[in-house]
Chain A
């Protein structure tokens, strides 16, 4: 059997030492009435070579980014990943270790997580970051639960309609059985109007959640939104894009109390949606730190006075506090946090800034050439970084299908999530997209639009 080592002699010797006649005897506690008395109905075993062929066959039925030119975003982006990220994350000592419960045997993971936490503080401009959450969506939900704990309020959780629709769905699911009401703030023009926040908050508002760049790719007036939240004593939760943070003001700079993000853009392959990385950082006041979900690594000294790292503030966590824990999270996304740490280190400040700068220039170039097509315009008037939403003539799904036939994953149909924006096509342009690819998309879209008019 693959991966099993016991020889018949081993098995016999082991059974003898145990004092059992057979392996089946060891299963005596499993009552006969609940035994499965047939083989599992799953396919027969495949040796490595045949499994490789089977998986290659399945892979060949897919049309991944690279095969089709990818202009899809919506929280997952086709950014470049330097080879050092794979080389480091591929170290068996990292990827086959588990949660660093034994600090002495896990200093590698602990120090790397401490560095990740620091990098996330540098990226967000906030004081404290946890060791990671699952993804950008559950990170929003956890941030809101945190805000409930920090404020002790029972009023509204206000969330902008421009926050990623799937993050909002996760938030609704988490909030459904708790004492808080999630209210969505309409954004008919593709951005959250800070005046609407001012009008919606009151002295029981738990928090305001906004995202910038938002789901359409456009920027929100985060400072004004945050000011409106703060004036009401509500927590301001900002969902941000870690790559755009290379040029934009950071959540801490514009007054966010809690910053969350999907960390996929930091060295994590697209991988059909996961595993990704939920980033969560917050202010350093003890009211916040006591409520932060998930693992935290802290610095300390060992018995000889040497600097080292441990899991800390564990009295917040489920294995100590059980039903009174700040969150139920246990396993997080350690390997992805490592990837993000290595990726950000590989980029450095200049690399991150240049990556974001390339995204901005290429996205704006794309918007320029695409809007030369008759009937195509940028739908919203707010600024954008690496993703923007067009208004295109005709049925967007049909347009996208025709672009696909021409070799392009041309964007996301905004109408899938926003029926009132059924003309919307959200296009993401990362640093990887070349002028040729952008011009190609423009030519293809021009062709599709023209053939419709004809």
Chain B
């Protein structure tokens, strides 16, 4: 792919009078002008100054933009913690069925029985997979799921009169959303250290655990891709203090049908349906973050939930202890729908095979990467692992980010970089189960080849993409967050610059 097409903004392509979509003539009698229907004080003189383009301008513009993305459909995308597995095409066809796509969220239940049956099924499957019997499908993404669970915890303790439980414990390896959600739910976040094995430091946990602890938020497998071997002891410690255990379900892809959060002592968890059950990630969403909890927490879940009374499905809003809503309408149904289709496609054996293969692929890639990079924590890993480029920094002043940028030249999306925070120069890799051994080998070979390349070349990478090393400091210091007409460039178009030592590759 040569990327010599225009990178003009859609606003710069605008020409007064051009149009794409046209509307039918008004078919109702309309003798009165608009300002007799709506008082002039409410009316704008002009419509918003949107761009004016023809249909082919629009299609070419956005399709050309799309070619400046790496994506699962076009590239290996081992972004750790994001579970970038294949998004089945069948899901898009299923979801487009007007019988689902054209349902209004406020239709009466007797006109949505098929949808409710599906959503009820999804509640049941998620309950079974987590070992936690009560499920709310409402949260719109994982972070909102976390927040919902913490709201539930807050309501539970308030109900019990335990107002003194102000603290939420969060491991230092946790996703940033965990402490952010804790703060937003009105708790004080307290960090618990990891030990040298990358697991929760139980002594530090014990030191910080007290009568004021409300919740321990644990990610298991954790963000280093390691299963917390002491999980049972950890959850027992929390329960002995009357606190709740929350599982960040970002890493469920490792344990489907292998072990269940409810069985290892979690009281609540969220799912990332778009990760584990493969919703399209859409350049940053939509997600879907259902929450599963133990029975004693069920009364506090958001309303409504779907109920089944002998094959008659209904939305149950009558939940007096519910925390209320975290958003409008039912939830990100389109993503739940795809998750349902995925679970039904795989079945119990298939889901287990997903996790087995995800773990096999991760361990294989880990072994290959370890040929040239430090992998600080002992294996086996689960569905992902974290390597470190700190030796390269020390020896050659090449950073983890330089490796990532160079990988783009080889036609691979980069791993997650500089996360988790507990590993310096972290490269967090999650290959997922839908990749082949050949792809994993090609990726590992690229990483090993990059290690041997000139430091200068790496520091200036990528060399084959439309842009290279955007100035992030400038972006933050002089924020330009929208186009304005004054910024229209006058310079003639420039030919694509190609790096001196560009690697031969497809795009």
Contact = CB atoms under 8 A, between A and B. Distances in A.
Given A114-B483, A352-B48, A330 B470 contact: no
- Interface of chain B, main secondary structure: loop
A304 to B, nearest CB: 5
B105 A76 contact: yes
For A98, A298, A357, the residue with the greatest tally of chain B CB atoms inside 10 Å of its CB is A98
Interface in A366-417: 383-385, 400-401, 404, 409, 412
Contacts of A246: 47-48
B260 A36 contact: yes
Interface in A54-103: 54-68, 70, 72, 74-76, 78, 82, 84, 87-88, 90-103
Contact of A56 (B65, B97, B105, B405): B97
A346 B29 CA distance: 27
B44 A249 contact: yes
B23 A170 contact: no
Interface residues of B, number: 205
A331 B97 contact: no
Contact of B20 (A40, A301, A351): A351
A422 interface: no
Contacts of A42: 124-125, 128-129, 343, 347-348, 351
A101 B80 CA distance: 12
B85 interface: yes
Contacts of A61: 113-114, 117
B394 interface: no
Nearest to B355: A27
Contacts of B255: 30
A234 B474 CA distance: 33
Contacts of A14: 360-361, 363-364, 437
B294 interface: no
B48 A174 contact: no
A351 B286 CA distance: 27
B213 interface: no
A191 B334 CA distance: 34
Contacts of B331: 273-274
B103 to A, nearest CB: 4
A271 B283 contact: no
Contacts of A65: 102-104
Contacts of A125: 48
Contacts of B302: 173
Contacts of A62: 99-100, 103, 111-115
Interface residues of A, number: 209
A189 interface: no
Contact of B65 (A111, A295, A351, A438): A111
Contacts of B231: 31, 34
A92 B142 CA distance: 23
B326 interface: yes
Given A45-B345, A70-B104, A87-B59, A327 B180 contact: yes
A152 to B, nearest CB: 16
A274 B469 contact: no
Contacts of B288: 275
A97 B29 contact: no
Contacts, number: 709
B360 A26 contact: yes
For A23, A60, A270, A319, the residue with the greatest tally of chain B CB atoms inside 10 Å of its CB is A270
Contacts of A59: 97-100, 114
A43 interface: yes
Contacts of A347: 20-21, 50
A45 B70 contact: no
A449 to B, nearest CB: 20
A150 B107 CA distance: 39
Interface in B397-453: 404-405, 408, 413-414, 416-417, 419, 433-437
A10 B69 contact: no
B122 to A, nearest CB: 10
A132 B140 CA distance: 13
B184 A328 contact: yes
Contacts of B258: 27, 30, 35-36
Contacts of A58: 99-100, 114-115, 117-118
A446 interface: no
A270 B117 contact: no
B185 interface: yes
Contacts of B107: 63, 72, 409
A296 interface: yes
Interface stretch (B4-12, B202-210, B237-245): B4-12
A2 B118 contact: no
Contact of A136 (B182, B328, B341, B405): B328
Given A94-B66, A98-B284, A104-B466, A272 B100 contact: yes
Contacts of A34: 231-232, 259-260, 263-264
Given A30-B229, A289-B481, A322-B180, 20 more contacts: A36-B258, A42-B129, A54-B344, A55-B118, A93-B71, A94-B66, A105-B414, A107-B68, A109-B69, A176-B323, A246-B48, A247-B34, A248-B42, A253-B44, A270-B104, A275-B334, A321-B180, A345-B58, A348-B53, A358-B23
17 contacts: A4-B357, A18-B366, A26-B380, A30-B259, A42-B129, A102-B414, A173-B324, A247-B38, A269-B101, A274-B105, A304-B497, A319-B176, A325-B176, A329-B141, A348-B50, A404-B108, A409-B111
